[in-house]
Structure 1
Amino acid sequence: MNFERHSQVASLITELNHAFPLAREIRNTREHAQALEQVEDLLEDYETNYILIEALSASIERYESSADEFSAFNQRQTDIEPAVATLRFLMEQHNLNTTDFENEIGKKSLVSQILNGHKQLTRRHIENLAARFAISPALFF
């Protein structure tokens, strides 16, 4: 890259840092809320704002992984098995309950036992769920 081009890029980065300081660092809950709002606004034109959305999202992720107010949530997420977390996510996204998996898993009681950590999803369950929701079985691991 020639000097002139490098200078232009550096100037653009400086402008972005001034316009979107939260893309570098979020220091408190107020800034966290502002960053979330900015991402929401930028998503209106994702293709144009892709780089800025990625920068803000990375900053939000760093803040949420280290801020005290998220520590209990982060610990609960760490404690949940990936298969159960994926199943819960699918249930939430598709507005399903334990009775909606008769074909993929079995009776409501078995689904409840899996969600509560008393039983595990089998390979067959995972294959059935992956087929139903058109997702990769790898999401359960």
Structure 2
Amino acid sequence: MQIKLIKNEQDYEAALRAVAPMFDDEPLMNTPEGDFFEVMCLLIEEYEKKHHAIAPPDPIEAIKFRMEQQGLSVGDLESAIGKSNRVYEILNRKRNLTLPMIRKLHAQFGIPLESLVGQ
């Protein structure tokens, strides 16, 4: 397959088919096959950003996901959010996150800011 812009879904599907076998045995960099693979992956990535964008998760779902990932409890979140009753209000969507809470959750637990700010 030749390198060409991905303009529609058919081009996208063809590009995916062209590089799929290379993921199992990735070609060496600075070879014709490696250059083809790298350029096609960049084209695929750009097309996906425009046409298959994934929205960031809901802020509360992001917090709950991180809690599950790291085995955190409500008590662990108190340093970032406040007393346990405040944490429960946030997790139950009775109260909104404040900017200081967002900053602390990001700094202490590594939750991406994009996820905490929401849309």
TM-score, normalised to structure 1, is 0.43
* Bigger relative CO (Cα 8 Å, ≥ 6 apart): 2
TM-score, normalised to structure 2, is 0.49
